[in-house]
Amino acid sequence: MKLVRKDIEKDNAGQVTLVPEEPEDMWHTYNLVQVGDSLRASTIRKVQTESATGSVGSSRVRTTLTLCVEAIDFDSQACQLRVKGTNIQENEYVKMGAYHTIELEPNRQFTLAKKQWDSVVLERIEQACDPAWSADVAAVVMQEGLAHICLVTPSMTLTRAKVEVTIPRKRRGNCAQHDRALERFYEQVVQAMQRHVHFEVVKCILVASPGFVREQFCDYMFQQAVKTDNKVLLENRSKFLQVHASSGHKYSLKEALCDPTVASRLSDTKAAGEVKALDDFYKMLQHEPDRAFYGLKQVEKANEALAIDTLLISDELFRHQDVAMRSRYVRLVDSVKENAGTVRIFSSLHVSGEQLSQLTGVAAILRFPVPELSDQEDDSSSEEDE
């Protein structure tokens, strides 16, 4: 993402002009745009024209519109963002108050104006415009006959390809059919990986599977690379890391990212940091429940006691339609930072973010036990039972 201009006043009102350069920038934009904002961008509009003879025709023209945002639609697989709203600035093709949907396009700038730019949104702009934040991990999560090729960026986990091949069972004295199908499966996975993984960008390629599938796949891949003189695979051999996962489904990626060898290799990536923070929370919840809280009310009370060491919060909560509720989450984040706590904003498109959303989307690891809050929780639950 490229920041062209930033005009924000002391009262935090103002506008920024940005240019999305990569598909992931659309995800950042989706988290920036909120209902009630003003969005100015180039778009295509179908207009009707009437000739001197009275015949009516229609043509598509490119024009620049300013909309008051009413609805936002994001397609996570295609990384496309559509913003619907009413026109609020005079235009020769579109009447004031007329509805229009702008599809934001890569490499076309847009200007976003808000009455209130909060700290969470401004921090996201900084992250999006920092070139160090790019797709740094690729993963092949597989089992016999099923594989997912994923890209793990700082903001989301993208499934780039799914490979499914029926593998016949081994028969006594005849394994030929099984072996041929397995080779065909491995070949399709290698082709999909080469199509979707940018080897010059990624720091690490995880190959995760149950049993010995990952070893057999890597052996096959590098044997074929030697035979075909595939320099890309051979030069990047050191980036491949084999780890255990319970299945070939996408959710098993979390297990792979939790592996200590992976964590040390990816210590500087945001995705690994999120997974570790969530893992620490679950361990604390199991061994010291007085130091692990989730749910907005409980976390807010812990914050009042200055007890929060690490706040875990889903970016989904900052897209809340209720402005007062959204402000409440922003105040919580600001307060934790002021009290020297660590804030980890989880992407709802990451596996770890999906898990956090199941825990209300907000959780905290505390510096010291706060048993009275746990007691209050137990009292309130017993009152509800009565």
Q: What is the pLDDT of residues 9-39, one digit of tens each?
A: 988 899 999 999 877 788 889 999 999 999 9
The answer to whether 362 and 295 have CB atoms below 8 angstroms apart is yes
Angle between helices 371-385 and 296-304 (to 10 degrees): 150
Say what the pLDDT of residue 133 is.
Answer: 53
Which tens digit of pLDDT belongs to each residue from 223-233? Answer: 999 999 998 89
* Two tokens, residue 174: 């005849």
The answer to whether 319 and 124 have CB atoms below 8 angstroms apart is no
Mention every residue, 6+ apart, whose C-beta is less than 8 A from residue 351.
Answer: 157, 250, 251, 253, 254, 257, 275
Mention every residue, 6+ apart, whose C-beta is less than 8 A from residue 111.
Answer: 5, 15, 16, 17, 39, 40, 41
Full-prediction pTM beyond 0.75? no
Give the type of residue at 385.
Answer: D
Residue ranges per domain, the chain?
A: 2-129, 136-268, 271-373
The answer to whether 67 and 34 have CB atoms below 8 angstroms apart is no
Say what the pLDDT of residue 193 is.
Answer: 93
Q: Tell whether the torsion through CA atoms of 100, 105, 109 and 115 is positive or negative.
A: positive
Pairwise CA distance, residues 183 & 219, whole Å: 11
Q: Which residue is associated with the tokens 């026109």?
A: 87
CATH architecture of the domain formed by 271-373: 2-Layer Sandwich (3.30)
Residue 60, SS3 per DSSP: strand
Pairwise CA distance, residues 351 & 273, whole Å: 13
Say what the pLDDT of residue 132 is.
Answer: 45
Mention every residue, 6+ apart, whose C-beta is less than 8 A from residue 240.
Answer: 205, 207, 218
Say what the pLDDT of residue 142 is.
Answer: 95
Domain 2-129: CATH superfamily is Pelota, domain A (2.30.30.870)
Which tens digit of pLDDT belongs to each residue from 174-186? Answer: 788 888 999 999 9
Ordered DSSP codes for 319-356: G-S-HHHHHHHHHHHHHHHHTT-EEEEE-TBSHHHHHH
Say what the pLDDT of residue 78 is.
Answer: 77
CATH architecture of the domain formed by 136-268: 2-Layer Sandwich (3.30)
Which residue from 259, 271, 279, 265 is spatially nearest to 208, judged by alpha carbons? 259
Pairwise CA distance, residues 227 & 221, whole Å: 10
Pairwise CA distance, residues 177 & 191, whole Å: 21
The answer to whether 319 and 34 have CB atoms below 8 angstroms apart is yes
Which residues in the chain show pLDDT less than 70? Answer: 130-135, 154-155, 173, 263-271, 372-386
| Total H helices, total E strands in the chain | 12, 16
* Two tokens, residue 177: 């059919």
Half-sphere exposure of 271 toward its Cβ, with a 13 Å CA cutoff?
A: 31
Pairwise CA distance, residues 56 & 370, whole Å: 73
Pairwise CA distance, residues 216 & 173, whole Å: 21
Q: Which residue is associated with the tokens 């920092």?
A: 130
Burial code of 94-125, b = ≥16 C-beta within 10 A, e = fewer?
beeeeebebebbeeebbbbbbebbbebbeebb
Pairwise CA distance, residues 123 & 144, whole Å: 43
Say what the pLDDT of residue 264 is.
Answer: 67
Say what the pLDDT of residue 380 is.
Answer: 43
